[in-house]
């Protein structure tokens, strides 16, 4: 990055943007490679050290303590012994005046809006006089006016003060609007680097989404005729689903979606646009404020653990260790956890039935384990995921929700998962595939919908997918 | 009934024992408050009190010097604290498990070692502070005590100033609220938490020693018997403010004093087991009322692992 310019870092989720930035501020240590600041070779092992080297980062969520006041947050971590309240308050005022970031130094951070918090983040960062400023998705919580003001500040620190700014973003317009140079990352590599002026959004979208998609001609191998499937009653019908909480604000904003039996619908989109909340609602982990969910035309009564599972919605959760399986229990136990009433009589679990069930599913799904009694943690990630899949599919679901089903799996396991999802759809299950990996969706889905800020903002069949439009939709452009 | 209330209010010894019992709790509660503000529920505060109590007894037996013995008590308290900090931060063991284990361990160690020393200790001198001790009722209670008791008057403002008015204290509070934010702000989270636990060891160790020289005069391993746990409850009762924690100590001290003095006031004795359970009963009732309504440090009892929200 050249000094005195604003550099955009653009890429999809999982492209490695955040990891790269975490390396720069010392939260992640690289396995190999060099970082140079000026001519000096540096290794950064902690946030403290990054600050000493003149690297400052404006975090979206991380570095403010809600219970403290504005001035306390600004000087937090500076060390020393004396806490000079007067000086700190004055400082907040001075930096605020200099950059047009006025804020009340005595306000408690927890009571402030996202835009105001970001002002504090910026003040806190500039206070340490960094040479390099990193902004991580800075506008995702800002109103357009606030974003405009942020860009004005960026211009000022770059042009008048000669600092260097890295702006990490997945929004095309923003990168075009606010940066001098742009680099595009994909799969942990830098795939393109260009000057921003004169670049068209379509070019950026194409570079961001990537090469593989162009080679994709041969793929949707077993995809059935989509239009034929899309008749009758949808297996899963979501209408006007809204979820909001005091802490996170609006997370789902009137989301509507139909999935018909026999098709796979892929939910594409940049992570953090409500995908996780959608999966949580369909797992009965979260309740919703408004909207309806129907399975085969019958509305689901919300409330209580397992309400969604009882009406036939099976879920392969995003984090299998967190909510997919119990690592310290055996494979056989994990395989029956979701439907204990099937293997028990009057509340007593029948060991023989559990074992038979396990042996049958282990054979059917090719789960590689020492025995049905082996603890879950002895299995590889791919086999753990097969256990989750086997359990969910053995309940004869009407709807299967697969949230990031291949995350952290190797190629073979990914392929197996894809085949199984396709098989489930062919057997008449309505499959909803939520994935931040666009290639996975392009490979598996019959229909693609794009999620942005808690709603579905676009839809297209996979067979005539328009990659440029898809990229634009993911960036929020309708 | 009115006469009974009048008897209670005019009973001098009741005020005096309230203060004495509350002061011991306060030594422990002040340190526990710091530890909890930094995010650790430090159950081993009980062991720290006992460690200070025992260490001071040995040191006085050997040196017959009160000040030195209190210092040794403080050091033993900090030793227990460093064990708690080391185990919970470097070995990431469960802080409750460690706390409970240390409490039981110290009790056993003290009971085992006690016969090996020919312990001989006594009470320190009473020092009356002129004028102040002449205030009716509360004057003698607060200002005519054995001199080690007065340390609490120094400790409370000093600790408050450290936590609320220094950069170090700001960092302590940040670490207890949001360790991830503190980390990216350049604060060594676990170091701050260990320092806070050490403060708890320091004040509790002093508290154990003061209890010996200011009140009981003779070491018994059963002397501490739950005082640390009640101090912990006082911090929660006080809604994690120091003012509130001290008020909690006074309340629990008062209930305990009532247990000791009620037979004298009434002129006849109640069932002693029932009376002995009074402070604990009061603790439970108070906790039921207050525990839900206060705001605890957000990262209380959560271990810190970098990058994990």
CB-count burial class (<10 Å; 0-12, 13-18, 19+) for A166: buried
Structure confidence at residue A422 (pLDDT) = 93
Interface check B307 vs A, CB under 8 A: yes
Q: Mean of the pLDDT values across residues B131-150?
A: 83
d(CA B281, CA B278): 5
Could you report the per-residue pLDDT of B198-230, keeping only the tens digit for each? 999 999 999 999 999 999 999 998 999 889 999
Contact A79 B167 (CB under 8 A): yes
- Comparing CB atoms, the residue among B165, B182, B188 nearest residue A83 is B165
d(CA A297, CA A232): 10
Q: Which of chain A's residues have a Cβ under 8 Å away from the Cβ of B188?
A: 48
d(CA A400, CA A425): 9
The residues facing A268 across adjacent strands are A450
Q: Which two tokens stand for residue A93?
A: 């005022």
Helix (H) or strand (E) holding A441: helix A438-444
| Strand A447-452 relative to strand A430-434, pairing | unpaired
d(CA A253, CA A242): 5
Q: Which of chain B's residues have a Cβ under 8 Å away from the Cβ of A79?
A: 167
For chain B, positions 160-199, list CB contacts with chain A under 8 A: 165-171, 173-174, 177-178, 180-188
ipTM above 0.85, yes or no: no
Structure confidence at residue A223 (pLDDT) = 45
| Strand A164-169 relative to strand A6-11, pairing | parallel
Q: Which two tokens stand for residue A402?
A: 């697969």
Q: How many whole angstroms from its chain centre is CA A466?
A: 23
**Matching CATH topology for A6-209 and A220-474?**
yes
Contact B177 A65 (CB under 8 A): yes
User: Under a CB-based contact definition with an 8 Å cutoff, are residues A385 and A413 in contact?
Assistant: yes
Q: How many CA atoms lie within 13 A of B258 on its CB side?
A: 19
Q: Which of chain A's residues have a Cβ under 8 Å away from the Cβ of B192?
A: none
A220-474 topology per CATH: Rossmann fold (3.40.50)
* Residue position matching structure tokens 């595009």: A184
Q: B309 pLDDT band (50/70/90 cuts)?
A: very low
User: What is the torsional sign of CA B86, B91, B96, B97?
Assistant: negative
Contact A66 B169 (CB under 8 A): no
Q: B164 pLDDT band (50/70/90 cuts)?
A: very high
Structure confidence at residue B1 (pLDDT) = 60
Q: Which two tokens stand for residue B237?
A: 């009762």
Could you report the per-residue pLDDT of B84-110, keeping only the tens digit for each? 998 887 766 678 889 999 999 999 999
d(CA B89, CA B197): 11
Structure confidence at residue A70 (pLDDT) = 93
Q: Mean of the pLDDT values across residues B60-72?
A: 95
- Comparing CB atoms, the residue among A47, A78, A124 nearest residue B167 is A78
Q: What is the distance in angstroms between the Cα of B94 and the nearest Cα belonging to chain A?
A: 18
Structure confidence at residue A210 (pLDDT) = 66
The CATH code for residues A6-209 is 3.40.50.300
Ordered DSSP codes for B71-110? HHHHHHHHHHHHHHHHHHHTS---HHHHHHHHHHHHHHHH
- Comparing CB atoms, the residue among A62, A63, A83 nearest residue B167 is A83
Structure confidence at residue A446 (pLDDT) = 92
Closest CA to A234 of A151, A293, A291, A276: A293
Closest CA to A271 of A150, A407, A116: A407
Contact B177 A66 (CB under 8 A): yes
Domain boundaries, chain A: 6-209, 220-474
SS3 assignment, position A468: helix
Q: Which of chain A's residues have a Cβ under 8 Å away from the Cβ of B174?
A: 65, 68, 72, 76-77
Interface check B305 vs A, CB under 8 A: no
SS3 assignment, position A315: strand
Q: Mean of the pLDDT values across residues B294-306?
A: 79
The Cα angle at residue A5 between residues A4 and A8, in degrees rounded to 5 = 150
pTM: 0.73
Closest CA to A70 of A90, A52, A50: A90
Helix (H) or strand (E) holding A192: strand A189-195
Class of domain B2-118+141-290: mainly alpha
Instruction: Report the interhelical angle of B189-211 vs B12-37 (nearest 10°).
Output: 160
Q: Mean of the pLDDT values across residues B162-190?
A: 91
Write the CB contacts of B154 (distance below 8 Å, at least 6 apart in sequence): none
d(CA A304, CA A188): 41
* Number of CB atoms found within 10 A of residue A31's CB: 4
Structure confidence at residue A226 (pLDDT) = 46
Q: What is the distance in angstroms between the Cα of A61 and the nearest Cα belonging to chain B?
A: 8
Q: B45 pLDDT band (50/70/90 cuts)?
A: very high
Q: Which two tokens stand for residue B64?
A: 């017959």
d(CA A57, CA A246): 27
Q: Which two tokens stand for residue A363?
A: 């054979």
For chain B, positions 113-152, list CB contacts with chain A under 8 A: none
For residue A331, what are the CA distances in angstroms to A321, A366, A367, A383? 14, 13, 10, 10
User: What is the torsional sign of CA B54, B59, B64, B69?
Assistant: negative
Q: pLDDT tens digits for chain A (478 residues)? A: 788 889 999 887 667 787 888 888 888 888 888 888 888 888 888 888 888 888 988 876 668 998 899 999 999 888 777 788 888 999 899 988 888 888 899 999 988 877 888 889 889 888 888 889 999 888 766 777 788 888 888 888 888 888 899 998 877 778 888 899 999 888 788 888 888 888 887 788 788 776 444 333 334 444 444 444 566 788 999 999 998 877 677 888 899 999 999 999 999 988 778 888 999 999 888 888 888 999 998 888 877 778 888 889 999 988 777 778 888 899 999 999 888 888 888 889 888 999 999 999 999 998 888 889 988 888 877 888 899 999 999 988 999 999 988 877 776 778 888 999 999 999 999 999 998 878 889 889 999 999 988 899 988 998 888 888 888 888 777 6
User: Under a CB-based contact definition with an 8 Å cutoff, are residues A413 and A381 in contact?
Assistant: yes
| Strand A455-461 relative to strand A399-403, pairing | unpaired
Contact B182 A62 (CB under 8 A): no
For residue A139, what are the CA distances in angstroms to A58, A157, A395, A473, B110? 11, 17, 43, 17, 61
């Amino acid at each position: 990055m050249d000094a005195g310019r604003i550099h955009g870092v653009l890429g999809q989720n999982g492209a490695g943007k955040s990891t790269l930035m975490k390396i720069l501020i010392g939260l992640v240590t690289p396995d190999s490679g060099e970082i140079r600041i000026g001519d000096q070779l540096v290794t950064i092992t902690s946030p403290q050290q990054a600050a000493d080297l003149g690297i400052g980062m404006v975090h979206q969520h991380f570095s403010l303590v809600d219970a403290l006041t504005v001035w306390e947050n600004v000087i937090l971590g500076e060390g020393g012994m004396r806490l000079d309240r007067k000086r700190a308050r004055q400082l907040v005022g001075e930096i605020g005046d200099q950059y047009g970031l006025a804020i009340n130094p005595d306000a408690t951070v927890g009571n402030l809006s996202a835009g105001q918090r970001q002002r504090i983040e910026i003040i806190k960062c500039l206070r340490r006089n960094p040479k390099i400023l990193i902004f991580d998705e800075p506008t995702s919580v800002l109103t357009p006016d606030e974003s405009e003001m942020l860009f004005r500040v960026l211009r000022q620190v770059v042009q008048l003060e000669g600092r260097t700014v890295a702006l990490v973003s997945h929004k095309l317009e923003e990168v075009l609007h606010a940066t001098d140079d742009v680099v595009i990352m994909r799969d942990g590599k830098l795939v393109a680097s260009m000057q921003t002026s004169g670049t068209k959004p379509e070019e950026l979208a194409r570079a961001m989404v990537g090469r593989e998609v162009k080679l994709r001609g041969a793929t949707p191998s077993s995809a059935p005729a989509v239009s034929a499937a899309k008749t009758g009653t949808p297996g899963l019908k979501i209408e006007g689903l809204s979820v909001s909480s005091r802490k996170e604000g609006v997370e789902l904003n009137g989301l509507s979606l139909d999935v018909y039996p026999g098709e796979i619908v892929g939910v594409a989109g940049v992570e953090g646009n409500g995908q996780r909340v959608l999966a949580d609602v369909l797992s009965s982990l979260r309740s919703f404020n408004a909207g309806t969910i129907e399975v085969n035309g019958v509305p689901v009564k919300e409330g209580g653990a397992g309400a969604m599972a009882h009406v036939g919605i099976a879920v392969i959760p995003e984090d299998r260790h967190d909510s997919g399986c119990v690592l310290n229990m055996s494979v056989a136990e994990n395989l029956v956890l979701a439907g204990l009433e099937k293997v028990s009589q009057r509340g007593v679990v029948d060991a023989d039935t559990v074992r038979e069930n396990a042996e049958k599913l282990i054979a059917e799904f090719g789960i590689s384990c020492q025995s049905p009694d082996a603890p879950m943690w002895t299995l590889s990630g791919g086999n753990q995921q097969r256990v989750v899949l086997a359990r969910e599919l053995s309940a004869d679901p009407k709807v299967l929700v697969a949230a990031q089903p291949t995350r952290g799996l190797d190629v073979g396991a990914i392929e197996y998962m894809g085949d199984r999802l396709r098989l489930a759809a062919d057997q008449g299950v309505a499959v909803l595939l939520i994935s931040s990996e666009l290639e996975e969706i392009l490979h598996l889905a019959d229909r693609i919908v794009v999620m942005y800020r808690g709603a579905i903002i676009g839809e297209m069949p996979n067979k005539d997918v328009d990659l440029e439009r898809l990229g634009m939709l993911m960036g929020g452009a309708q | 009934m009115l006469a009974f209330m009048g008897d209670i209010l005019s009973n001098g010894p009741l005020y005096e024992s309230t203060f004495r019992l509350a002061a011991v709790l306060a030594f422990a509660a002040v340190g526990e408050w710091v530890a909890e503000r930094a995010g650790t529920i430090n159950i081993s505060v009980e062991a720290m009190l006992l460690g200070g109590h025992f260490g001071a007894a040995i040191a006085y037996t050997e040196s017959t010097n009160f000040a030195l013995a209190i210092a040794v008590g403080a050091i033993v308290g900090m030793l227990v604290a460093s064990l708690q900090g080391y185990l919970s931060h470097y070995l990431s063991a469960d802080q409750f498990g460690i706390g409970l284990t240390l409490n039981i361990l110290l009790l056993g160690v003290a009971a085992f070692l006690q016969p090996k020393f020919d312990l001989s200790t006594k009470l320190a001198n009473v020092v009356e502070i002129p004028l102040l001790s002449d205030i009716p009722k509360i004057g003698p209670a607060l200002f005519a005590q054995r001199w080690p008791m007065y340390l609490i008057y120094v400790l409370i403002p000093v600790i408050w100033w450290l936590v609320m008015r220094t950069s170090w204290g700001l960092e302590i509070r940040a670490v207890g609220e949001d360790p991830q934010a503190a980390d990216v702000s350049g604060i060594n989270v676990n170091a701050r938490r260990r320092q806070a636990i050490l403060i708890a060891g320091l004040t509790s160790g002093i508290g154990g020693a003061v209890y010996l020289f200011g009140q009981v005069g003779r070491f018994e391993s059963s002397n501490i018997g739950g005082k640390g746990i009640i101090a912990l409850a006082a911090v929660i009762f006080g809604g994690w403010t120091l003012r509130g924690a001290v008020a909690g100590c006074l309340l629990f001290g008062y209930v305990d004093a009532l247990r000791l003095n009620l037979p004298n006031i009434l002129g006849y004795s109640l069932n002693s087991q029932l009376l002995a359970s009074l402070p604990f009963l009061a603790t439970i009732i108070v906790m039921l009322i207050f525990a839900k309504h206060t705001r605890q440090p957000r990262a209380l009892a959560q271990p810190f692992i970098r990058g994990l929200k």
